[in-house]
Amino acid sequence: MPRILIAEDELDIRELIKITLTFSGFEVVAAEDGLRAVELAADGPYDLIMMDVQMPHMDGYQACREIKKMRELRHVPVVFLSAKGQSSEVNEGLGAGAIDYMLKPFAPDELITRINQILENGRKPGQVT
């Protein structure tokens, strides 16, 4: 069962993602902010990490950079989920080490499809769907 770490500060969205992923057969660990995501990531292993961009204590870009500094997590794919979709934000996310950037709102089936594609294809950082 693939294990996914999600970081989202909005409780309702975090719970929706967690329920969607759990229902689809994933083991899910949830963090309420970027700092907690970095702490939990170190306790891995994880097959995928998904995070919001705007979070308290540490934004998603900073958290991604910190996670990518950890040798054992360097190759774990990171996907941003954000309402901010300007090209500069997407480029910053990919520059921080993410492999994908999904815009909110998203359909639950779209989320599952994208996750499965990433896990099946073993995509490298910087590839966007």
Query: 129 in a domain, yes or no?
Result: no
Residue with tokens 């229902």: 23
Under DSSP, is residue 107 helix (H, G, I), strand (E, B) or coil? Answer: coil
The dihedral over CA atoms of 95, 75, 19, 89, expressed in degrees to the nearest 10, equals 0
Domain annotation covers residue 29? yes
pLDDT at 125: 41
- Per DSSP, which regions of 8-126 are E strands? 27-31, 48-52, 78-82, 100-103
> Which residue blocks in 70-107 are alpha helix, DSSP H?
87-95
Q: What is the CA radius of gyration of the chain?
A: 13
- Averaged pLDDT for residues 9-21: 96
CA distance from start to end of the chain: 24
CATH code: domain of residue 114: 3.40.50.2300
Tell me whether residue 109 is in a domain: yes
Does 32 fall in a domain? Answer: yes
Per-residue pLDDT band at 107 (split at 50, 70, 90):
very high
Residue 106 lies in a domain: yes
Residue 77 CA to residue 110 CA, distance in Å, equals 17
Residues spanned by the domain of 104:
3-121
Q: What is the pLDDT of residues 42-84, one digit of tens each?
A: 998 999 999 999 999 999 999 999 999 999 999 999 999 988 7
* 58 belongs to a structural domain: yes
Residue type, 112: I
Domain assignment present for residue 128? The answer is: no
Confidence category of residue 96, pLDDT binned at 50, 70, 90: very high
Residues 97, 77: contact at Cβ < 8 Å?
Answer: no
- Residue 36 is assigned to a structural domain of this protein: yes
- Number of folded domains that form the chain: 1
